[in-house]
């Protein structure tokens, strides 16, 4: 089994290349706005996975697979999580079968009308919906 390789700086998007450029000194202070944003998103993703059993043990169901859109869910008993990636250069609106208790965690917004949920997802973004 091959071990995955992770270097310091992955969580802030620190640039690097092939050896010997792959091991720059880790910076903890004076991060750019983009590096701080990447670090915060990485931290949020780690916390979300660590605290949600559907993201650890859940069964995977592909719901929509297109060139610029990917939607799947993971379910563990009564806990379901929906993951959506919008790779297109324009905003996407998707009708999803999520309960009214569902919440967004990153870039999307959910709106509910009657029993329909609409996810609005900005261009080049993603969302993880939890309930």
CATH of span 54-130: 2.60.40.1180
Q: pLDDT at position 8, please?
A: 62
Beta bridge partners of 93: 120
Q: pLDDT at position 27, please?
A: 79
Six token digits for residue 76: 């563990």
Backbone angles phi, psi at 46, to 5 degrees: -60, -45
Q: What is the mean pLDDT of each run of 10 residues along the chain (131 residues)?
A: 53 73 77 91 95 97 97 97 98 96 96 93 98 89
- Residue 128's Cβ-count burial label (10 Å; 0-12, 13-18, 19+) is buried
Q: pLDDT at position 26, please?
A: 75
For the chain, the structural domain boundaries read: 10-50, 54-130
Q: pLDDT at position 35, please?
A: 87
Q: pLDDT at position 3, please?
A: 47
Give pairs for 14-22: CB < 8 Å, separation 24+.
none
The pTM score is: 0.83
Residue 130 and residue 105 in contact, taking contact as beta carbons nearer than 8 Å:
yes
């Amino acid at each position: 089994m091959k071990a995955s390789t992770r270097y310091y700086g992955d969580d802030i998007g620190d640039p690097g290349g092939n050896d010997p450029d792959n091991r720059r000194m880790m910076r903890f202070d004076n991060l750019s706005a983009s590096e701080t944003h990447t670090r915060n998103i990485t931290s949020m993703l780690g916390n979300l996975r660590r605290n949600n059993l559907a993201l650890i043990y859940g069964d995977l169901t592909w719901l929509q697979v297109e060139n610029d859109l990917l939607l799947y869910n993971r379910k563990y008993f009564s806990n379901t999580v929906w993951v959506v990636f919008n790779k297109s250069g324009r905003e996407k609106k998707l009708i999803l079968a999520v309960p009214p208790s569902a919440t967004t965690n990153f870039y999307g917004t959910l709106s509910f009308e009657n029993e329909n949920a609409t996810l609005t997802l900005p261009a080049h973004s993603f969302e993880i919906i939890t309930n």
